[in-house]
Copies of this chain bind each other. A is one copy, B any other.
Amino acid sequence: MVSFTCDYTEGAHPRILERLLETNLDQQPGYGEDVFCESARQKIRLAAECPGADVFFLVGGTQTNATVIDALLQRHEGVVAVETGHIAVHESGAVEASGHKVITLPPHEGKMQASNLKALLQRFHADPTKDHMVWPGMVYISYPTEAGTLYSKQELSDIQAICQEYEIPLFVDGARLGYGLMSPAADLTLPELARLCDVFYIGGTKVGALCGEAVVFPRGNAPRHFFTLVKQHGALLAKGRLLGIQFDTLFTDGLYFQISRHALEMAARLKDLFLRKGIPLSVDSPTNQQFPILTPAQMQALDGKVLFEVWDTLPDGRAVTRFATSWATTEQQIDLLAALL
């Protein structure tokens, strides 16, 4: 049985495990004050070319989104996101649980359109009843998006410009950041991303780590007492070293980007395979997630041999599916899939 269901079906990249073994007996303080976290912070600042950045390591994506959003918003404010945004759909209301509304815009291929954002903010600020409403207090986007698509540098700049005009911060959820930045379709580098937003996170869980997300405030602009808020949100790891060692390894010799490129190459092979077999793609994704539309016969051919996710069933019986690749995906696995389709 081979699984393409997601990019977190295996453990961690072997170099991470090696490093966990090597450092296991080093005695270090907890809560992110260890030498590994400090080293990882420094490497991330270098990679993102933001020497004054504040960097925090949290454990998972939902808690990271909830903590960052809660830290940046005032009580009367909500966060603007597209309807398909992770925080709006698949986080069990973690943002609302900390008291804030998710204000939604319709997505375009999974992306927020600057024009929609601008219209929302204009309409809000022109509304004489706005003091009876939830104020749009920040913007949340995912890079890559939940649909596997990418913002261009121009699109991101446009969104940033609007945020700056309205003086609200822009937060980029980078749970799969590497699969965006390393995509041949990307026209953005990590330093550029860092300049184009107020806070972003570098996803570890889905890019080769056992767990962990690195939150970066590029201009040293973390809210005061962010550490205490991380603790309050239950997102502070006692053995912070586990996160420090992983991110230190991922940002040594470009491993994070190497993992991302590998997964993207495997995804390109998947896409080739689907197109060769005449299988249409629901979205033209340049990232590590591919969304082929399979017939019942194709799905039956894979049954019991290849695992993947079913996202939607079409009226004609076909299914929109998701195949994801990771550091662990091999050519052999794709060949096996090819042989079955």
Contact residues of A with B, CB < 8 Å? 1-3, 5-6, 8-12, 14, 17, 20-21, 23-31, 59-64, 66-67, 70-71, 74-76, 78, 89-94, 96-102, 128-129, 131-135, 205-206, 210-211, 225, 227-229, 231-239, 241-242, 307, 310, 328
Contacts and interface: CB of A to CB of B under 8 A. Distances in A.
Nearest to A245: B11
Contacts of A21: 17, 21
A96 B75 contact: no
Contacts of A59: 59-60, 211, 237
Query: Taking chain A's interface residues, is the majority helix, strand, or loop, or is none over half, making it mixed?
Result: loop
B99 A99 contact: yes
A25 B10 contact: yes
Contact of A232 (B2, B76, B310): B76
A97 B135 CA distance: 13
Given A131-B231, A233-B94, A29 B11 contact: no
Contacts of A9: 27-30
Given A11-B25, A76-B93, A91-B232, A210 B239 contact: yes
Contact of A12 (B14, B24, B310): B24
